[in-house]
Amino acid sequence: MKELKKEIREHLQQSIIPFWKSLRDDTYGGYYGYVGYDLTVDERAVKGCILNSRITWFFANAYLTLGDESLISEARHGFEFMKEFCLDKENGGVFWSVTYDGKPEDTTKHTYNQAFSIYALSAYYDATKDEESIRIAEELYELIEEKCRNEGGYLEAFDRQFYPMENDKLSENGVIADRTMNTLLHVFESYTEFYRVTKKKEVKERLEWMMDIIAEKIYNPKLHRQEVFFDLDYHTLIDLHSYGHDIETAWLVDRGVEIVGNPEYEAKMTPITKDLTRQIYETAYKSHSLSNECEKGIVDTDRVWWVQAEAVVGFLNGYQKDKDRSEYLKAAEDIWQYIKTYLIDTREGSEWYWLLDREGRPYEDKPIVEPWKCPYHNGRMCIEVIRRDI
């Protein structure tokens, strides 16, 4: 672990941080929204608000981990862009995307997107104690609770005025879902950080409510997995096992349980997170890495960048929760070796590839940066490895 921590700290400081610093747009604000496989930066590409919130979150947490003052400057740059351009000052909430110069481009209001803004603003507040940032986070929290859920759980996509619309942005695999495991997971993740820095009683209660939904509606104990896409009544829409989301859920729920500090939920959720971790280890961990997913019994053997990053954290977390499972520690170290060998793009001025085939060859039609390709997963992997006492 000592060597693993050393290597990952160096990778964070020498590769990931410099790469994302280089994409700072000092003319129009925020960070450039697209870098092609050929490493050409498109300075006029659309800027995803999720991308910019995740970059802001990353720099704030990198500062909290490393203490490098230059990282606060980057986080502040991201925060100012979010505040000035991503927030809809007329109708409330956060746009899906803006143009390179900050004009609304896709005015969809998605619950997932609102959640990631809270995640970023909570981290920024933790790093800076900027009261404006937590005030905005509180406003977005109230907005989600008022406009983005019903009695059964969180809803997904809305237009600019918060009228419901088709959830095409968070639906995949040929279905359109009324509810998704993915959105619920990231609302839970963002509220965990929001509660950690504010200790608001109502947020704690909402976290416990979400854990009940995960345990009773999302988790499938017979198949040892989470279901992914649902109708309004939580009927699953497809036979799909998302390996990356299950290993990510395992450690994010454990983190939420820790922050909430309620022994009843520790007893309720720990068997679930252990089961998810075990199932992913036994089912998805092949050839030194994780396959992507399994749909209707057919495994997608491509290797996705974020899935490998989450697997490292998830297996380290599994080992921390059960020191008898030393195979999890070995798996985390093994996947890091795979990342070093295949996923990290060693070309000057690059970062990680998006997608590899089962032989470890990158897909050249996948960019290095776009609205979903960000430092949230791999940067967070580095931060988690450095911070964890293993």
- pLDDT score recorded for residue 222: 98
State mean pLDDT over 23-29. Answer: 98
pLDDT in tens, 40-65: 999 999 999 999 999 999 999 999 99
Phi/psi for 26 (5° steps) reads: -85, -5
The partner residues of 94 in beta bridges, in order of sequence, read: 87
pLDDT tens string 344-363: 999 999 999 999 999 999 99
Tell me the mean pLDDT in the region 130-140: 98
| pLDDT over 90 (residue 282) | yes
Check if the beta carbon of residue 62 is closer than 8 Å to that of residue 70. Answer: no
With a cut of 90, say whether residue 127 has pLDDT above it. yes
- pLDDT band for 390, please (50, 70, 90 cuts): confident
pLDDT of 186 reads 98
Sequence-separated contacts (24+) of 105-110 with Cβ below 8 Å: 105/46, 105/47, 106/46, 107/159, 107/160, 108/157, 108/158, 108/159, 108/160, 108/165, 108/169, 109/157, 109/158, 109/159, 109/160, 109/162, 110/156, 110/157, 110/158, 110/169, 110/170, 110/183
Mean residue pLDDT of the chain comes to 98
pLDDT given at position 88: 98
Q: Is pTM beyond 0.75 here?
A: yes
Given a cut of 90, whether residue 13 has pLDDT beyond it is yes
For 352, the token pair is: 């990680």
- CA distance readout (Å), 140 to 57, 89, 114, 176, 240: 16, 12, 7, 25, 31
Percent residues over pLDDT 70 in the chain: 100
| CATH architecture, range 2-387 | Alpha/alpha barrel (1.50)
pLDDT at 355: 98
Q: How confident is the model at residue 1 (pLDDT cuts 50, 70, 90)?
A: confident
% of the chain beyond a pLDDT of 90: 99
Q: For 233-250, what is each residue's pLDDT tens digit?
A: 999 999 999 999 999 999
The predicted-structure confidence for 371-388, as pLDDT tens digits, reads as follows: 999 999 999 999 999 999
pLDDT band at 292 (very low <50, low <70, confident <90, very high): very high
**Phi, psi (degrees; rounded to nearest 5) at 100:** -55, -30
**CB–CB of 107/114 below 8 Å?**
no
pLDDT at 211 over 90: yes
pLDDT of the residue at 46: 98
Instruction: Name the residue type at position 43.
Output: E
Q: What is the pLDDT of residue 76?
A: 98
Quote the pLDDT of residue 107: 98
Range 12-33 average pLDDT = 98
